[in-house]
Amino acid sequence: MLKDDSNFNHIDKNIGYQLMTERMFMQALGMGIAEEMRIDPKVFMMGEDVRASVYGAAAGLYDEFGDDRILNTPLSENGFFGAAVGAAAVGMRPIVETLTSFMWVGMDQLVSQAAKMRYMFGGQATLPVVYRAVMYYGGGSAAHHSDRSYPVFMNIGGLKVVVPATAADAKGLMKTAIRDDDPVIMFEDGTLLSTRGEVPDDPDFTVPFGVANILREGTDVTVVAIAGSVPHALGAAEVMAKEGVSVEVIDPRTLVPLDKDTILNSVGKTGRFVVADPAAKVCSAASEIMSIVSEEAFWDLQAPMQKVASKQVHIPFTPSLEKLVYPTRDGIIEAIKKTLG
């Protein structure tokens, strides 16, 4: 894994004083699922090899919930992505586990059905389904297993797009996703799965959609960082602090809905804006956020905005090339310096 800040361990200020336990991001995802499954018998999970939990987050779920609620599927993404839609349409609350890169195989069901049914049928369809997209990249998996595809789903509409970056958010956003009445895609960043953080024990703890988290307050430059870019942005802020530059780091946490106000308010305060996004640069989440800032906060800006996104290439297998692709702490530092002139 290409991580600049292996000691990333941040506590969400919004959570307050609750009882916390340090947990791994991956474990926090699983806790969120288990808690919701205990509360609501309509929740079930299906996917490839979920009973064995080959991706980790589903560990222990099959033992606890058994055959009827943890379902191993055939390798048929289009089939079971759509089956989740149908089950949701008649009142169930399915969770589907998949990899970001396998979502392409089931795109018709995600786009033509999950995303569009409610609108196309005038609000008659309610589809409380969660697609858990494990997002591996940075580990030498080459182009077929390294997608960061959330911007595609922001563009489609009708899908809520969730990109947790801390263990606490992994749990809290997962619980909100399961309780939500719309189709949600949880992008579970592979570079964060083994990170640790304080996670509230309270089963009523949730993190709302559409509320960004100001991870570090600052006055000189605003950095919005998405998913796996968050630790790099915090690392960059730490370095810049030593140079006397105060950086505000914002994690939007959900891209649909997007908390524009927190971002715009911050830009209003700092006048300088950098966005870091592990997605490929063209039409990235960063592109959309920059577009919003330029439309709505242009006169607040004191310098051109800077985008630190992945290079617009397919992911090469060899580490010598792959390491050149993604946003890094140093890349963010460079961008921050550009905004300072």
Partner 1 sequence: MTTNISKDVLMLMLERMWRIRHFELKLTEMYNAGEVGGVHLYIGQEAVAVGACAAMEDTDYIAGNHRSHGHPIAKGANLKKAMAEILGRIDGYCKGKGGSMHLADFSVGILGESGIVASSVPVATGAALASKLENKGFVSAVFFGDGASNQGACHESMNLASVWDLPVLFICENNQYAVTTSYKDTVAVEHISDRAQAYNMPGILVDGQDVIAMYEATSQAVQRARNGEGPTLIEALTYRFEDHSLGLEKIRKSEYREDSEVDEWRLRDPLDLLTKSIVDSGTATQADCDAISATAHAEVEEAAEFARNSPFPDESELYKDMFASEMPIV
**In this complex, which beta carbon is closest to partner 1, that of residue 146 or of residue 262?**
262
244-283 residues in contact with partner 1 (CB under 8 A) are 257-258, 260
Q: Which of 1, 20, 59, 78 binds partner 1 (CB under 8 A)?
A: 78
Minimum CB separation of residue 74 from partner 1 in Å reads: 6
Q: Partners of 187 in the beta sheet? A: 133
Burial letters 160-191, b for 16+ CB under 10 A, else e: bbbbbbbbbbbbbbbbbbbbbebbbbbbbbbb
**In this complex, which beta carbon is closest to partner 1, that of residue 99 or of residue 129?**
129
Asked whether the CA dihedral 63, 67, 69, 70 is positive or negative, the reply is positive
Minimum CB separation of residue 277 from partner 1 in Å reads: 16
* Binding-site size, partner 1 (CB under 8 A): 50
Minimum CB separation of residue 260 from partner 1 in Å reads: 7
**In this complex, which beta carbon is closest to partner 1, that of residue 75 or of residue 321?**
75
The answer to whether residue 145 is catalytic is: yes
- Interaction between residue 298 and partner 1 (CB under 8 A): no
- Interaction between residue 90 and partner 1 (CB under 8 A): yes
As a whole number of angstroms, the distance between CA 323 and CA 315 comes to: 10
Alpha helices in 193-328 (DSSP H): 230-242, 260-270, 285-296, 319-322
Name which of 179, 168, 228, 181 is nearest 31 in CA terms. Answer: 168
- Interaction between residue 177 and partner 1 (CB under 8 A): no
Where does this chain touch partner 1 (CB under 8 A) — which range of 56-64, 91-99, 131-139, 277-285? 91-99
Minimum CB separation of residue 318 from partner 1 in Å reads: 33
DSSP string, 40-78: -TTEEEEETTTTTTTTSTTTTHHHHH-TTTEEE--S-HH
| Active site residues per annotation | 145
